[in-house]
Amino acid sequence: MNTLPHAPPAPATTAPLAGFTVAVTAARRAEELSALLRRKGAQVIAAPALRIVPLSDDQRLASVSDQLARRPADIVVATTGIGFRGWVEACETWGTADPLLNSMRSSRLLARGPKAKGAIRAAGLTEEWSPPSESSAEVLDYLLAQGVQGLRVAVQLHGEPLSDFTAALRLAGADVVEVPVYRWTQPEDTAPLDRLIEAATTGGVDALTFTSAPAAAGLLTRARTTGHHGELVQALRGDVLAMCVGPVTARPLMAHDIPTVWPERARIGAQVRKLTEELPARFPTLPVAGHHLRLRGHAVLVDGTVHTLSPTLMRLMRALAHRPGQVLDRARLLTCLGEDADAHAVETAVARLRTALGDARIIQTVVKRGYRLALETTDCAHRP
């Protein structure tokens, strides 16, 4: 896009994501995340990129729990509150919770953060240590500094393998037991996910949100299965923003050179706030015919008021805004209207677009040449 003259920011709107479509790939807390996004004005497409295996049905977890009950670990690392609580609750359904908890009373318990610490205490246990942050790296540093040679260390996973963490412990001489809490697998019904991928690759989505690395990996895996992997990666490298909850979640995307954004704190509330900053900032404010105009995914803000457009009119608007102030001839604009459109369709579409924007002066006719956005000069943009 060409360099634009400076313009004052558009008036604030009470819905910072109004006019944008945001996709939610989460399986857990998807409703909460969707509600937060809608509260910010976004249209939401929700399709889980994975399915959580019910703990009560997970025989891998049952087997590991039985092993730990019969042969206690020297050290147990709780990485998440929900994961540790779910582990204990699953054992309660199998009738093995008491033996497991009794075995842990002889173990040294480490909690990765305050939520994991709370879950340990809720189970009637006491942690030996917890880092000031929620960093797995700090827990690993602590363990290596204390020494794990010859010790049996149980690590509660949180939806994905902690390959670097467990590998470092094994290299230091530990016997590592991985506890596969809330394991992920493919959704039983993949149709919603396929529709989400189609929307992302055809311009129907402005941002994809990810709250776990397995969700990011699951989306890419499903796109590869359906033959849309290249298109999805291209979209995420281009116009579709990949909004992650944290750097760990972003890793499967970064492995494909996909630009990612995440907040300082790995919380979905912070993720939504970051999205309200990043997504609108991708679209500059244009001083046009006495108005402040700003594009959104499927709408245009004119002086802070949302004007929702049809997909056809939105394509036309994007073409004009891509080269603001420059004249686009009818042949160029005709490509925005579909294969069956004729030259007369451009005039009709421009008329409809002017009506939708609320001021016909926003799009200027240049006789015998075409149409352009009535972009103001730098001097005009600074008029009081």
CATH of the domain at 225: 3.40.50.10090
pLDDT per residue over 145-154, tens digit each? Answer: 999 999 999 9
Residue 7 belongs to a domain: no
SS3 133: coil
Residues 370 and 349 in one domain: yes
Give residue 134's pLDDT.
78
Residue 13 belongs to a domain: no
Residues 78 and 174 in one domain: yes
Q: Return d(Cα 134, Cα 132) in angstroms, integer.
A: 7
Q: Return d(Cα 116, Cα 85) in angstroms, integer.
A: 9
Report the 3 state secondary structure along 319-383: HHHHCCCCCECHHHHHCCCCCCCCHHHHHHHHHHHHHHHCCHHHEEEECCCEEEECECCHHHHCC
Residue 210 belongs to a domain: yes
Residues 261 and 312 in one domain: no
Pairing state between β 51-52 and 184-185 = antiparallel
Q: What percent of the chain stands above pLDDT 70? A: 92
Question: Which of these three, 233, 248, 281, is where a domain ends?
Answer: 281
Residues 64 and 176 in one domain: yes
Residue 30 belongs to a domain: yes
Give residue 180's pLDDT.
86
Residue 219 belongs to a domain: yes
Place of tokens 């209207």: 337
Express the helix, strand and coil content of the chain in percent, nearest 5 each: 45, 15, 40
Closest among 54, 340, 301 to 181, alpha carbons compared: 54
Instruction: Report the number of distinct structural domains present in the chain.
Output: 3
Residues 147 and 218 in one domain: no
Give residue 104's pLDDT.
98
Give residue 184's pLDDT.
77
Give residue 46's pLDDT.
96
Question: Which of these three, 182, 209, 231, is where a domain ends?
Answer: 182
pTM of the model: 0.71
Give residue 96's pLDDT.
92
Question: Which of these three, 148, 182, 216, is where a domain ends?
Answer: 182
Residue-range definition of the domain harbouring residue 81: 55-182
Give residue 381's pLDDT.
40
Give residue 57's pLDDT.
65
Residues 262 and 312 in one domain: no
Flag residues of the chain having pLDDT under 50: 1-13, 379-384
